[in-house]
Amino acid sequence: MEMTKWTENPIEASLLNLDSLAQNQVARDCFINIMRFMNDYPLVDGMEATECASFLLATCKAHPQLRDEIFCQLVKQTTDNRSDDPESCMRGWFLLSLFASYYRCGDQLLPHLKMYLETNAHLSRAPHQAIAAQCLHNLQQTIKYGGRRCMPSKSELTAALCGRLANHLLCMLPGGVPARITVTSSTVIRDAVDQVCETLLLKSYLENLEFSMYSIIGPDDYAQLQEKAYLMDVMTDLHNRKQDFFFLCQRTSWIFPLHFDGNKSYINLMYQQTRPDYLDGYLLAIPSKILPNHTREEIVLLAVLQIQASEMKTIPHQKDLEIFIPVNAQRLSNISLSHWTSQVNDYLKNIRNLTPHECQIKFLEILSRWSKFGSTFFPIKSVSDDKVRGGSCLLAVNKQGLYFCSRKTNETLMYFPFHELLSARQRMHRSGTQFLDVKCGTLVRHKILELRTDKAEDLGLLIDQYIRVQKTVAENGLP
């Protein structure tokens, strides 16, 4: 029994039968580093306790066969701990928690390890109850997602040494609204997105799948994050590359309908995310350079609703109106900006009693009837199909499928519904040019579209997301 309990002395041999004397020596070195981290063995001059944790993680990355051994060593040193140092046992649990977020044990050891963690997580009066529960959660995350991949930064190790199990991070929402999320060593992107979605009070958990997180480095330098990636790994990688960044969470697929009875956070997010694409003119097709009367009236009403939602106190002048009218509508030669201004000011008198929240809802109600609403837009440099004249176009991806649109007029040149999309594969030419090969049609008769775009990875992820969400919705019997 003593072999499974804390000891004040270094072990003379590994706890498990290992293949060689060399492995046995490495196991003994690991045990000494565990003792050093726990203040049960003196550090070498100039050495820091965080280096002991780094040694342990790096060793098990290089020698996977030692992971069971290290789990057993950590269990041993946190069992019946009688160290003279009052921090020893808790430090051992902190190290076990960190280790469990990187590695899993073998199948033979797993039930015993889980029982040990579950037992300690239910010891209501034990000071390590919370950290034992976190250990169990980290292990479950590792089994599910494969474990952390980036070695932790010194600041993360220092936080672990101080017993900080979680940190708070601000994630931005469209419109610059911050959302606070809780991050632990084993938090994956999907967990972080789900936390944001909780504040939006969505009708179904399946709707969470329509939201994604991005790392934003600059206006044109951003990347959609894989939902199974560990958030701390992403942050560590960006810090190692000395990048200034922030995270943005937004809706990326639009299969579920809008909830106009949603809370203010939800409505504001939908409004702030939709508005830029509308103002950039992506939602508005003008093939004949003439706007139908009903579209012109809707543009006026949408401008009025934006003005009222912004709580502008004064009557807008001609120059003010530029930020409320789509750019391609402003370029029409037969409608001057002064004409837009006159019509907007006439409309404003009729809606002064609406609150900003009500204006946002009205704005979304009108725009949601437009055919390109809920689309994500990608600039495409070339398409291997003669229907796209000149090759260059704007690709709109929404729940209906892929719309290849004219850059000049936004009219649809070519369309493929999602049920005809068989696969999407990203590849990079030796010159560094990115491509996405999209297979369309049926298994018997199909064609491959070669799309050249700088956002091939993001486009591929979005197509996969739509296919995955639509499949999940169908499996759950939802319309």
Token pair belonging to 244: 């200034």
Are 454 and 434 within 8 A, CB to CB? yes
Q: How confident is the model at residue 157 (pLDDT cuts 50, 70, 90)?
A: very high
Q: How far apart are CA 417 and CA 466, in angstroms?
A: 11
Q: How far apart are CA 27 and CA 32, in angstroms?
A: 9
The percent of residues in the chain predicted with pLDDT above 70, rounded, is 99
pLDDT at position 478 is 66
Are 180 and 433 within 8 A, CB to CB? no
3-state secondary structure of 434: strand
pLDDT at position 220 is 77
Q: How confident is the model at residue 177 (pLDDT cuts 50, 70, 90)?
A: very high
Does residue 221 surpass a pLDDT of 90? no
3-state secondary structure of 217: strand
Q: In this structure, what DSSP letter does residue 420 have?
A: G
Q: Which long-range contacts (CB under 8 A, 24 or more apart) does 407-411 make?
A: 409/285, 409/286, 409/287, 409/289, 410/281, 410/282, 410/283, 410/284, 410/285, 410/286, 410/328, 410/372, 411/285, 411/287
Q: How far apart are CA 86 and CA 88, in angstroms?
A: 6
pLDDT at position 289 is 81
pTM above 0.85, yes or no: yes
Going through 306-392 in order, the beta strands assigned E by DSSP cover 376-380, 382-383
The more confident residue out of 101 and 353 is 101
Does residue 98 surpass a pLDDT of 70? yes
Q: What are phi and psi of 265, to 5 degrees?
A: -65, -45
pLDDT at position 320 is 83
Token pair belonging to 476: 């759950």
Task: Give one DSSP letter per residue of 53-116, joined into a string.
Answer: HHHHHHHHHH-GGGHHHHHHHHHHHTSS---SSTTHHHHHHHHHHHHHTT----TTTHHHHHHH
Q: How confident is the model at residue 43 (pLDDT cuts 50, 70, 90)?
A: very high
pLDDT at position 2 is 59
Going through 78-210 in order, the beta strands assigned E by DSSP cover 167-173, 177-183
Could you report the per-residue pLDDT of 368-386, keeping only the tens digit for each? Answer: 999 999 999 999 999 999 8
Residue type, 144: K
Are 216 and 246 within 8 A, CB to CB? yes
Could you report the per-residue pLDDT of 317-354, keeping only the tens digit for each? Answer: 888 888 999 999 999 888 888 889 889 988 887 787 88
